[in-house]
Amino acid sequence: MYNDERGAWERDKHNPLHDLARQKLRSADVLLEQQCTAGVMDLLASALLMKLAALNNQAQAPAITDAAVWVYTEISPRGLLTPEQAAQVVQVVSFSLGSNLPELLVQQAANDVGQLFEQMA
């Protein structure tokens, strides 16, 4: 491959995690539209971590148990999130690890993730 072709290919390369993150967010939305909250928090946390990994030029998201440390040691210092956004990400990830989360908190987390996705676009 010639250098100029390789440069164009590198510029056009798209991280597939962006698409996977959007798909997971859409799946969470569909479940909520059907008034089913089971699995929604897992989808939301996964979508957020995939989106951030893609923005950080990574091939995969960190494990959910490593997410908070990763957000505060790698993502926030690079300026990919404001302190408030970092706190929202960690909150969603923390909620996803819990059980019997009230529907109101699930809905609020979904709204927060939707806003974060818009801000990260």
Cα→Cα distances 96→26, 37, 41, 93, 116, Å = 17, 11, 5, 5, 16
pLDDT tier, 13 (very low <50, low <70, confident <90, very high otherwise): low
Q: What is the pLDDT of residue 121?
A: 77
Report the pLDDT averaged over residues 86-107.
Answer: 95
Dig out the tokens for 102 from the structure.
Answer: 């009230």
With a pLDDT cut of 70, the percent of the chain lying above it is 89
Q: Span 20-45, mean pLDDT?
A: 97
Phi, psi of 103 (to 5 degrees): -55, -35
pLDDT of residue 14: 87
Question: What does each C-alpha distance from 28 to 10, 32, 34, 56, 58 come to in angstroms?
Answer: 32, 6, 10, 23, 23
- The dihedral region occupied by 42, where left means phi > 0, alpha psi between -120 and 50, and beta the remainder, is alpha
Question: Amino acid identity, residue 67?
Answer: A
Mean pLDDT score, 71-99? 96
Q: In the predicted model, what is the mean pLDDT of the chain?
A: 90
Q: Which two tokens stand for residue 23?
A: 């798909």
How do residues 38-54 score in pLDDT, each as one tens digit?
999 999 999 999 999 99
